[in-house]
Chains A and B, each alone.
Chain A
Amino acid sequence: MSMNKDTILKVEDLKTYFPTRTGIFKAVDGVSFELKRGKTLCVVGESGSGKSVTARSILQIVDKPGRIESGSVLLTRADGSLTDLAKLDPRGKDIRSVRGKEIAMIFQEPMSSLSPVHRIGTQIGEALRIHFGTPKKEQRERVLELLRQVEIPRPETAIDRYTFEFSGGMRQRVMIAMALACNPQVLIADEPTTALDVTTQAEILDLIKKLQQSHGMAVLFITHDMGVVAEIADEVLVMYRGKVMERGPVEQIFHAPQDDYTRRLIGSVVKLEKKAEVRLTRTAIPAEAAPLLDVKNLSLTFPSGLKAVDDVSLTVRPGETLGIVGESGSGKTTMGRCLLRIYDPQAGAIDFRRPDGKTVDIRTADRAELKNIRREVRMIFQDPVGSLSPRKNVGQIIAEPLKLAGMRGRELDDRVAELMAQVDLEPAWRERYPHAFSGGQRQRIGIARAIAVKPRLIVADEATSALDVSLRSQMLDLMMKLQDELGLSYVFISHDMSVIRYMCDRVAVMYRGRIVETGDTDQVVNHPQHDYTRALLSAIPHPDPRDRRIHKRFRYDPARTVSANG
C-alpha cells in the first residue's frame, strides 16, 4: 500500500450504519479522504449530513447502536507502521493507545463535554497518566505548561477550578489543552466553535491554527459554517446525507465547485454576503417620517442585579427593518421582549404610534391598552419547536389570535387558509400537528400566527438561527415579501451579521445591555464607528479563501482599545 509520506491518516470507503426499527440508517456511506501533516481538512455539511459520525468513526467512538460496517482508517504510527483503526476492537487496548495519544479530539459543547465534578487539572492530566503513567507531580507541571499554551490566565489557580467556573471560550481552551496533552499527530475538532460567539470563535480558531503550526498536527475540522471553512481550510470535504459530494482544495470548492449541491451551498452562503436584491431597488424610507416605534432610555435590571437593558434608545420607521445585532448576553433578546412587555422595564419609554396617529407608551400601558397594542405589535420566536404548542394542530395555532380577537366560524376558517397560503404552507395541512412539520415549516407557522391579526410591527427574535443556511435566505425572503405586501415594520434581532446585512435597513449594535452604535446597515457594516462594532465585524469569518480576514482582526477591549497586529 503506497502512501504519500505526509499522509498521516487515510480513510477509505468508510461506512457507518445505525440499525433502527424502520431499517438501516446509513449515517456515513462510503467516505474517503486523507489527512496530511500540518494541514487542515474541513468537513462541511448541514445537519444530518453525517460529518460528526465520520469524525467519531475514526476513533471508533460512535454512539450506540452505530457501528462501522466496512472501509478502512489507516493511521501512520510514529514508528512508520500502518494500522487500520477500523479493524480494531472498539473496546480493546490497541484502539485505546491511539485515542488521546496519537489522535485527539475536541467537541462542540465544552460544558457538557467536560465533567462538572472533576477539577480541570485532573481532567487534562488524565491522558498523561493513561498513556505514559506520568507521576502526579510531573503531571501537574505539564498541565500548567499546557494551560499556558492555550493562554488560560493564571494557570496556577485555574488548574484547581471546575468547568462551571469558566466562560464558554475558556472551557474550549481547556478542551484543547486536554487534547494536546500527549502531543497527538492528529486533532479532530467537532464543531468546536459552534456554541461560541463570533469574537470568541475567532480566538479559538487562532489558537488552533497556532498550535497546529507549532506541533505540526494534522487537523480534521468539522463545521457547518462555510465562513469558518474559508478561513482555515487547506482542503474541504462536502458531505450531504452520509455521502461525499465533493472533495478538493479550498480554493476550488469556493471558486470552482464541481458539484451541484456544493454550488447551491456556496450560493446560499454568498447570497447572504450582501444586501437582498429586492432591497436594493426599493425606494428609501424617508428619514423624517414620524417613527412607528420610539424607544427612549429604556432600562431593565433583573432581580439578580444584572443590568440587561441599559439606557437603550432607538426608533423604527414605518415599513422599515431595524436590525439589532449583538453577541450572547448583550441583552438583545431581553430588549426585544421589553418591547412587548413580556418583561417590565423599570425606566424609559416605548412610544408606539397607533393608526390614528396618537402615540402610546407601551411601558406604562394598562391591561386593556396592552391587549390592543399586542395585536399591532407581534413576535416571531427563535425556537420553532418550543414556540408552537405540540398539543394543538396548525389550524388551531394560527386561529388562536384570531379567535381571541373575536373571529368565528366560516370567516375564521377562510382566514386561516389564506394565512397558510400566504406563508407557502398547504392549507390542507391545517389538521396536522406541529410534529409533522420540519423546522422551516414550523417557523412559517410561527410567521402565519404573527401576521394573523394584521400587525404593523413584528419583533423577530433570532427567527432564522435555528435553521440551516440554505433555509435561512428563503425565510428572510418570505419575511421581506410579507413586509412589502402588508406594509410591516420589523425589529430583527440576530447575532448573525450576514442576515442583518441581507435584510435590514438600519442596524443597532448592542453590547452589554447598551446600544453602542446605530446607523444605516451599509454605513455600519462598511464604516463602523465604534470599536466594538469593528471588532465584531472583523471577527466574522468571510466565506472566501482568497480573502482570509479573521487572523488580522481588530480586538475590542472595553478598557483600552488595541489592534491585534499592533
Chain B
Amino acid sequence: MPPAQTSAEKQNGKKMLRYIIKRLVFAIPTLFAVSIIAFIIIQLPPGDYLTTLMADWASQGGAVEAGTVAAMRERYGLDQPIYFQYYKWIWGILTAGDFGISFELGKPVTELIWNRLGFSMLLSLLTLCFVWAIAIPIGILSAVRQYSISDYTATFLAFFFLAVPDFLMALSAMYVMSAWFGQSVGGLFSPEYVDAGWSFGKLLDFAEHVWLPVVVIGLGSLAALVRIMRANLLDELSKPYVTTARAKGMSELELLIRYPVRLALNPLISTLGWILPAVISGEIIVSVVMSLPTTGPLLLRALLAQDMYLAGSLILLISVLTIIGTLISDILLALTDPRIRFQ
C-alpha cells in the first residue's frame, strides 16, 4: 500500500475520533439533566422519604428507633437544602453504586434491579434486531414496487399497527393465544426453569416465551421504520447518482443494493435515537401486561407504592441506557456516512 493512501486513511481515523469525543462530551450535560429529572420524580410525592417510611412501619405496627431515623436523615442529607440532597444522592450512585433503599421491599435498590434491567435490555435488543430485520426488506419492497398491491398492503398494515398501542397488542395477543390455542402466555420462562441455571433447555424455553413479547413490542416501531425506509428509498431512487450507476451498466438489483439502499440506510440508523426510547417504553408497558421479569412491573409497583428511590433509580437507569444507545447509534452513523464525520 502506498504511503500516501495511509495518510488519507489516517486523516479519516482522526476525524472519526474527534467526532466520537465530541459526541461523548455532548452526552455529559444530557446525562446530568436526566439525573435531575429522575431526582425530581423522587422528590415529587408529598413528604420526604423518611416520613413515608415511618408511616409505613407504623402502619405495620413496628416501632422506629430514633437513632435509625437520625442516621438515615444524615445519610440522605434530608435536613439539608435540596441541591445538597441531590449531590448526596448522585454522589452515592457515582462512587459506590448506592441507589438507596426500597422501603417497600426493605432491600437496597441495587439488589432488586440489575437482573431485571438485564432482561429489559435483552428484550429491547432482541426487539430492535427483529424490527430492523423485518422492516428493511419490507420497506425496500414497498418502495421499489411503489403503488403495487404489496405496497398498499404494507402501507395499510403499517398505519394499522401504528394505531394499536403496545398494551392493546399484548392483551389481544394473549387473548388470541389463550382463546384459540389454549396457551397461557406470560413470563419469559416456564415455571420449572424460572429459578434454574442456564442450560440448553432453559434457552429453548426462553426462545419459546420471548418471541411473542418481541413481536408485540416491535410491531409499532416496525411500522414506523417501514414507512421511513420506504420514504428514504423513494427519495434516493430518484437521485442522479442512480442514473450514473445505471449508465455504467450495473444490474438493477446490484445497483439497488449498492447505491440507493445503502444511502437510505443512513437516515434509518439515525432513527435509532427515537426507536430505542420507543422500544424501551413499549417493553415496560408490555412487560406489565405480560408479567415479564423486567423493569416494567417493578417500576409500576414502585410508583404505585410511592417507593420513590426504587422508581427514580429505575427511571434514571433506563434513561441512561437509552442515551448510551443513542450515542452508539450516532457513532454507527458516522462510521457508515462519511459526510457526518467531515462536518
Q: Which residues of A contact B (CB under 8 A)?
A: 56, 59, 61, 63, 91, 93, 96-101, 104-105, 107, 109, 112-118, 126-127, 130-131, 154, 156-157, 159-162, 164-165, 175, 178
Complex Cα spacing A104 to B250, Å: 12
A115 contact from B5, B238, B247, B259, Cβ within 8 A = B259
B342 at the interface (CB under 8 A from A): yes
Residue B201 CB within 8 A of the other chain = no
Nearest to A59 among chain B residues (CB) is B247
B219-266 interface (Cβ within 8 A of A): 238-241, 243-252, 259, 262-263, 266
In contact, B243 and A113 (Cβ under 8 angstroms)? yes
Bound complex: CA A118 to CA B337 (Å): 9
Provide the B42-64 mask, 1 if CB < 8 A to any CB of A, else 0: 00000000000000000000000
| Interface pair A107/B249, CB less than 8 Å apart | no
Pull 7 A–B residue pairs with CB atoms less than 8 Å apart, ordered by A.
A59-B246, A63-B243, A93-B251, A112-B239, A126-B248, A126-B250, A156-B5
CB-CB under 8 A from B338, the residues of chain A are 116-117, 162, 164
Tell me whether B247 and A157 are in contact (CB under 8 A): no
The answer for the CA separation of A335 and B259 in the assembled complex, in Å, is 40
Report the minimum CB–CB distance from B154 to chain A (whole Å): 20
Are B342 and A100 interface neighbours, CB within 8 A?
no
The reply to whether the CB of B22 lies closer than 8 angstroms to some CB of chain A is no
B7 at the interface (CB under 8 A from A): yes
Q: Is the CB of B5 within 8 A of A159?
A: yes
User: Hey, which chain B residues are within 8 Å of A116, CB to CB?
Assistant: 263, 338-339
Q: Are B339 and A99 in contact (CB under 8 A)?
A: no
Measured CA separation A100–B249 after assembly (Å): 5
Q: Is the CB of A99 within 8 A of B246?
A: yes
Decide yes or no whether B336 CB sits under 8 A from chain A: yes
Is B8 engaged at the interface, CB distance under 8 Å to the other chain?
Answer: yes
User: Considering the chains assembled together, what is the distance between the CA atoms of A56 and B246 in angstroms?
Assistant: 11
Contact of B247 (CB < 8 Å), options: A104, A156, A165 = A104
Q: Are A160 and B5 touching (Cβ within 8 A)?
A: yes
Q: Contact: B248 with A127, CB < 8 Å?
A: yes
List residues of chain B with CB within 8 A of the CB of A59.
246-247
A160 touches B9 (CB 8 A): yes
Across-interface contacts of A126 in B (CB, < 8 A)? 245, 248, 250
Task: State whether B249 touches A91 (Cβ < 8 A).
Answer: no
Q: State A506–B85 Cα separation when bound (angstroms).
A: 75
Contact A113 B244 (CB under 8 A): yes
**A164 and B342 form a contact (CB under 8 A):** yes
Contacting A157 at CB < 8 Å: which of B4, B249, B337, B342? B4
* Interface residues of chain B: helix, strand, loop or mixed (majority): helix
Does B182 interact with chain A (Cβ within 8 Å)? Answer: no
| B197 close to chain A: CB less than 8 A | no
**Chain A residues with Cβ under 8 A from B191's Cβ?**
none
Q: Closest Cβ of chain B: how far from A125's Cβ, in Å?
A: 11
Choice from B4, B243, B342 contacting A162 with Cβ under 8 Å: B342
Q: CB-CB < 8 A to B4: which residues of A?
A: 154, 156-157
Size bracket, chain B contacts: 20 to 34
Across chains A and B, the number of contacting residue pairs, with CB separation under 8 Å, is 90
Chain B residues in the interface with A (C-beta under 8 A):
2, 4-5, 7-9, 238-241, 243-252, 259, 262-263, 266, 336-339, 342
Chain A CB count within 10 A is highest, among B239, B247, B250, B252, for B247
A63 to B259, alpha carbons, bound, how many Å?
Answer: 17
Is A113 a contact partner of B248 (Cβ separation < 8 A)?
no
Q: Which residue of B lies closest to A103 (CB)?
A: B247
Contact A96 B250 (CB under 8 A): yes
CB distance from B122 to the nearest CB of A (A): 32
Complexed CA–CA distance, A63 and B240 (Å): 10
B241 touches A115 (CB 8 A): yes
B5, B248, B249, B263: the one within 8 Å of A117 (CB): B263
Structural contact, B247 and A61, CB atoms closer than 8 A: yes
- Chain B nearest CB from A185 CB (Å) reads 14
Residues of A close to B342: CB separation below 8 A: 162, 164-165
Task: Give the distance to chain A from B302, nearest Cβ to Cβ, in Å.
Answer: 46
| Docked pose: A192 CA to B259 CA in angstroms | 22
Question: Closest 8 CB pairs between A and B?
Answer: A100-B248, A99-B249, A156-B4, A100-B249, A105-B247, A160-B8, A113-B240, A96-B249
Q: Considering the complex, give the chain A residue whose CB is closest to the CB of B9.
A: A160
Looking at the assembled complex, report how far the CB atom of B338 sits from the nearest CB atom of chain A, in whole angstroms. 5
A117–B8 CB distance below 8 A? no
Q: Is the CB of B247 within 8 A of A130?
A: no
* Docked-complex contact A114 and B241, CB < 8 angstroms: yes
Chain B positions within 8 Å of A99 at CB level: 246-249
In the complex, A289 Cα to B247 Cα: how many Å?
60
Within the complex, the shortest CB–CB distance from A320 to chain B, in Å, comes to: 43
Q: Which residues of A contact B243 (CB under 8 A)?
A: 56, 61, 63, 107, 113
Q: Which residues of A contact B238 (CB under 8 A)?
A: 63
Which residues of A are found within 8 Å of B5, using beta-carbon distances? 156-157, 159-160
Q: Which of A63, A100, A104, A161 has the most CB of B within 10 A?
A: A100
CB distance from B178 to the nearest CB of A (A): 49
Task: Determine the distance from Cα of A117 to Cα of B267 in the docked complex, in whole angstroms.
Answer: 13
Looking at the complex, which one of A56, A127, A154 makes contact with B249 (CB distance below 8 Å)? A127
CA distance A203 to B9 in the complex (A): 30
Closest chain A CB from B186 CB (angstroms):
45
A51 to chain B, nearest CB (A): 16
When the two chains form their complex, are residues A107 and B240 in contact, meaning their CB atoms are under 8 A apart?
yes
Known: A114-B244, A117-B338, A165-B342. A130 touches B249 (CB 8 A): yes
Contact B246 A157 (CB under 8 A): no
Q: Which residues of chain B come closer than 8 Å to A114, judged between CB atoms?
A: 241, 244
* A107–B239 CA distance with the chains assembled, in angstroms: 12
Q: A112-B240, A159-B5 are in contact. Are A96 and B251 (CB under 8 A)?
A: yes
Bound Cα distance A117, B9 (Å)? 15
User: What residue of chain A has the Cβ atom nearest to residue B8's Cβ?
Assistant: A160
Contact A101 B249 (CB under 8 A): yes
